[in-house]
Amino acid sequence: MQQSNAYTNQQISIVRKQMSSVYNDAAARALNNGRHFIDGSVPFKPIYGEKQWPSQQARPKWVQALQQIDVTNQRAAKSSCRGEDAGRLSALTDEAWKEQDETHGTHWVHGWDAIERAQKLAQKVNAELDQCVPPAAVAPAAPTILEKPVTLAADALFGFDSAKLSPDGEHMADSISKDIIESGAKVNVLRVDGYTDRFGSVEHNRKLSLQRAQTVEKALRARGVIADRFDVSGHGAADPVKSCPGTKATQAVIACLAPNRRVTISAK
């Protein structure tokens, strides 16, 4: 008989160790599950093996309570108004299911206490959700096209005294077109303005600046930019952004005047 009792005690010890390996982190996992339902910052990990429902015939009250608790948890999970009580309910629900899992197939009846605590808290959570008004949805910001006019250096866009785009100019047109198209905004008016420096005749500069602006406009259209209206103008040497001394077109003066040789693009 003593040998039989020793064997029984050994079996009990093994079962306890197995149960401990399963549930020894239950408190930490229950806390994390509460955080999951409050802010979603951690994944949901049940502290029970699987949902073991009580017998519908023997314990209909238990089954009904667990069903109502599950409904409340699902409602809270979908609500932007869920708070700390919803997180605590998640933890209590986990505990209730853990006790059902542990006592499944036995005659233990202590599981009702956990169910009853969760049931009472579920009633409170439902009342909070009923009273809560979800925050008004924030209207998405209107897409922006170009926050401010884009200025492109003519020396990079074109060769000397030319209105044909250089390879660098082609790349610039690619980039600007992509920005406008990907903004998703409707373009009412797209303005393209060309400018030169002060060297050369007024007529030549006006013509060259207009041709360069027209080249940029055509490049944008060819790349899929759509606008209700394109305004294209050539202003010659008007509106300089850089003032440089010197009356002769020396290399130093030409380099100094580079910012004036430009094409600007603006959209609204």
Q: Please, are residues 81 and 127 in contact by the beta-carbon 8 Å criterion? A: no
Reported as a single tens digit per residue, the pLDDT across 96-151 is 888 887 777 555 566 788 889 889 999 999 998 888 877 777 777 666 666 688 88
- Within the chain, which residue ranges are assigned CATH 3.30.1330.60? 150-267
- 206-238 pLDDT, tens digit each: 999 999 999 999 999 999 999 999 999 999 999
What φ, ψ does residue 140 adopt, rounded to 5°?
Answer: -65, 145
Using CA atoms, how far apart are residues 216 and 164, in angstroms rounded to an integer? 9
Q: What is the C-alpha to C-alpha distance for residues 192 and 211, in angstroms, rounded to an integer?
A: 11
In terms of Cβ atoms closer than 10 Å to its own Cβ (0-12, 13-18, 19+), residue 151 is: middle
Give the pLDDT score at 11.
45
What single string gives the DSSP state of each residue in 213-255?
HHHHHHHHHHTT---SEEEEEE-TT-S-S-----SS--HHHHH
Burial class (CB in 10 A: 0-12, 13-18, 19+), 96: buried
**Run of H or E residues at 156:** helix 154-157
12, with CB counted inside 10 A (0-12, 13-18, 19+), is exposed
Nearest to 212 by CA among 197, 199, 223, 224: 197
Q: Are 128 and 83 contacting, i.e. CB atoms less than 8 angstroms apart?
A: yes
The backbone torsions φ and ψ at residue 153, rounded to the nearest 5 degrees and listed phi first, read: -70, 125
pLDDT at 6: 44
Domain formed by 150-267, architecture = 2-Layer Sandwich (3.30)
- The DSSP secondary-structure symbol of 120 reads H
Contacts 24+ apart (CB under 8 A), 6-12: none
pLDDT at 7 > cutoff 80: no
State the DSSP H helix or E strand holding residue 75, giving kind and residue range, or none if neither.
helix 60-78
pLDDT digits (tens, 9 = 90+) for 12-60: 444 344 444 444 455 566 666 656 655 656 666 666 777 888 888 888 8
- Write out the DSSP string of 159-179: -TT--SBPHHHHHHHHHHHHH
**pLDDT score, position 114:** 84
Asked if the model's pLDDT at residue 5 lies above 70, the reply is: no
